[in-house]
Amino acid sequence: MKKLWAGRFSEQTRSSVERFTESVSFDARLWRHDIEGSIAHVKMLGKQKIISVADAEKIEKGLLEIKAEILSGKFSFKESLEDVHMNIEHALIAKVGPVGGKVHTARSRNDQVALDLRLYLRDEINETIKLIKGFQKVLVRAAEKHLDIVMPGYTHLQRAQPVLLSHHLLAYYEMLGRDAARFEDCLKRVNVLPLGSAALAGTTLPIDRKYVAKLLKFSAVSENSIDSVSDRDFAMEFISSASILMAHLSRFSEEVILWNSEEFGFIALPDSFTTGSSIMPQKKNPDILELTRGKTGRVYGNLMSILTVMKGLPLAYNRDMQEDKEPVFDTVDTVKACLSVLSEMLPQSVFRKKKMEEATVAGFLTATDIAEYLVKKGMPFREAHGVTGRIVKYCIDKDMTLTDLEMKEMQKFSELIGRDIFDHITVKASVEKRASYGGTSAKTVLARIRRIKGHK
């Protein structure tokens, strides 16, 4: 098959080279955006009288017919035509005749592919933001439902202080909020029109780039034609934002994996989101969570891939940049799949209230409350910290908990300790007294939930 660019060549491309250089096997997913961009482009060409309005309309009609064929599954993408762009243009010329060749007037594949990728990412970023916000809603509903459950908060994976499960879940809500904001900010730099830059230097033809931007709903037009075709910052930024999101999903997955273990027993995952063992009949494995954790490395790898592709390229376009798409596409698919399945899984999981509350009894989780009690009595915090540490050591030596201590034992450590100390060292009191803004008391957590729901 003769290439559309084959005019200056005297030999046909070898089949091995075609296989090595083709990208249609993965960039075919850009077909919708390629057609959308081409229609806007020919409308502009007709408006500017670069081609006739009749030719523009004929091309648009042909492109819409190709769109219908692809949607119906009748269109066949050919490896020999290299990429999605050439496949559609070849089909267009076959459908409407030589006039179809006018579709490529005043553009290059360099600015065409940059346009398609930006259109694609614009759609996928918006979809990703929707999925993030959907998972946030799942977390808020779980937090609202379980306001009565107290659990150990951890530092260094050691029991630290009692917190509400709701407060813990809402920590992930906050992380996801930052993720959504990063994608929203990335969208500003994605939503810039590169079309009209041509190969790298612009065109001598009287095009109207702002008109194309209006048709395609771009908020800005690129300012430098060389930068336009060589820029993939927006793709790197997208995968970077996705990597941070996946770090958060991986942390969430790791915690739920731990909570689901017999050693913790804080949560029971639904059978429909777990798998069994081929040899051990008793097993119920949290594969969804483990795969989310594992797929995080995959997205990190995609970021390293695109950063490495771009790091040493001279301006402007180089064929290396064909390698930008697979990392982008794989990241889109991975992130959307993880967000979707976690949003389905969590509402069907059961939190074990008794197990969580039992875990707050051991480990001296209210020790800080003793120190703060002494501070309120006038003792400097560092001194109060030391007194409390000695009380804890005494309890460890005697195999006791803080609430096992009698008044006279407490007062051996400080004369400032009164009978009201016992109102401060229960788990319930510890949680409820942490009413500082952003703290774990039911009052502050409920206030945060109300603010979140008020922002909808």
| Residue 8 clears pLDDT 80, i.e. is over it | no
Which backbone phi and psi does 420 adopt, to 5 degrees? -70, -5
State the residue range of the domain holding 68: 14-105
Q: How confident is the model at residue 11 (pLDDT cuts 50, 70, 90)?
A: confident
> Which of 105, 133, 165 corresponds to the end of one domain?
105
Cross-strand pairs, 162: 152
Please tell me the distance from the alpha carbon of residue 413 to that of residue 364, in angstroms, as a whole number.
17
Q: What is the pLDDT of residues 243-281, one digit of tens each?
A: 999 999 999 999 999 999 999 999 999 999 998 888 887
CA angle 83, 89, 91 (to 5 degrees): 100
Domain total in the chain: 3
Q: What is the pLDDT of residue 281?
A: 79
> Which of 299, 328, 354 corresponds to the end of one domain?
354
Q: ω before 316 within 30° of 0 (cis)?
A: yes
Beta strands 220-221 and 192-193: pairing type?
parallel
Range 357-372 burial, b when 16+ CB lie within 10 A, else e:
bebbbebbbbbbbbbb
- The residues carrying an active-site annotation are 156, 277
Please tell me the distance from the alpha carbon of residue 19 to that of residue 81, in angstroms, as a whole number.
10
Please tell me the distance from the alpha carbon of residue 403 to that of residue 393, in angstroms, as a whole number.
14
In a domain, 228, yes or no: yes
Is residue 70 located within the same domain as residue 200?
no
- The pLDDT mean for the chain works out to 94
| Residue 9 clears pLDDT 80, i.e. is over it | no
Please tell me the distance from the alpha carbon of residue 107 to that of residue 89, in angstroms, as a whole number.
13
Tell me the DSSP string of 380-432.
Answer: -HHHHHHHHHHHHHHHHHHT--GGG--HHHHHTT-TT--GGGGGTSSHHHHHH
193, 209 Cβ separation under 8 angstroms: yes
Is residue 146 located within the same domain as residue 173?
yes
Residue 330 or 3, more confident: 330
Give the predicted TM-score (pTM) of the model. 0.93
CATH number at residue 271: 1.20.200.10
Tell me the DSSP string of 65-79.
Answer: HHHHHHHHT-----G
Q: What is the pLDDT of residues 299-345, one digit of tens each?
A: 999 999 999 999 999 999 999 999 999 999 999 999 999 999 999 99
Block residue for tokens 């096997």: 25
Is residue 207 located within the same domain as residue 191?
yes
Q: What is the pLDDT of residue 347?
A: 97
